[in-house]
Amino acid sequence: MRFRFVFLLPLALLLYACGPLPVVAPLPIPATPMLIPTYSEATLDRDTVPRITELTQLRAAGAGPVAALAFTSDGQELLAVHGQEGKLRRWRVTNGAPMAVFDVGPVGMAAVSFDGVARLLAVGAGCTPPAVQAGYDAPVKGVRIWDTLTGQLVHEFATDLQFSIVQLSDVALSPKGDRLLGVEPGSLDGWNLTTGKTEIAVVRFKTIWEGTPGPDSSVLRTVTFDPTGEWFAMASEDGFVEVEKWDHWRSRGDQPGGIRVGPSMQSPGIPLALAIDPSRHWIAEVTDKSLHVWNLQAWFGSEALKSEVMSGPLAALAFSPDGDLLAVGTAGGWQIWSVGDWKLLAQGPQQATYAVTFSPDGRLFAWGDVDGVVHLWGVP
**Per-residue three-class SS string for 355-373:** EEEECCCCCCEEEEECCCC
Contact 289, 306 (CB under 8 A): no
Instruction: State residue 335's pLDDT score.
Output: 95
Contact 109, 136 (CB under 8 A): yes
Quote the CA–CA distance of 130 and 55 in Å, as a whole number.
32
Which residues on adjacent β-strands are paired with residue 303? 294
How far CA 134 is from CA of 76, 229, 285, 314, 349, in Å, comes to 34, 32, 21, 9, 21
pTM as predicted: 0.84
Contact 372, 366 (CB under 8 A): no
Instruction: State residue 62's pLDDT score.
Output: 80
Quote the CA–CA distance of 343 and 325 in Å, as a whole number.
10
Give per-10-residue mean pLDDT for the chain (380 aa).
40 39 33 45 93 92 92 95 94 92 91 96 88 86 92 82 61 96 84 90 57 56 93 86 82 54 58 94 89 78 69 93 96 94 93 96 95 93
Task: Output the 3-class SS for the chain.
Answer: CHHHHHHHHHHHHHHHHHCCCCCCCCCCCCCCCCCCCCCCCCCCCCCCHHHCEEEEEECCCCCCCEEEEEECCCCCEEEEEECCCCEEEEEECCCCCEEEEEECCCCCCCCEEECCCCCEEEECCCCCHHHHHCCCCCCCCCEEEEECCCCCEEEEECCCCCCCCCCCCEEEECCCCCEEEEEECCEEEEEECCCCEEEEEEECCCCCECCECCCCCCCEEEEEECCCCCEEEEEECCCCEEEEEHHHHHHHCCCCCCEEECCCCCCCCCEEEEEECCCCCEEEEEECCEEEEEECCCCCCCEEEEEECCCCCCCEEEECCCCCEEEEEECCEEEEEECCCCCEEEECCCCCEEEEEECCCCCCEEEEECCCCEEEEECC
Quote the CA–CA distance of 276 and 243 in Å, as a whole number.
10
Instruction: State residue 267's pLDDT score.
Output: 59
Of 332, 365, 285, 297, the C-alpha closest to 45 is: 365
Fold topology of 35-378: Methylamine Dehydrogenase; Chain H (2.130.10)
Instruction: State residue 204's pLDDT score.
Output: 65
Quote the CA–CA distance of 60 and 372 in Å, as a whole number.
6
Of 80, 85, 71, the C-alpha closest to 33 is: 71
Where do the structural domains in the chain lie, given as residue ranges? 35-378
Instruction: State residue 299's pLDDT score.
Output: 56
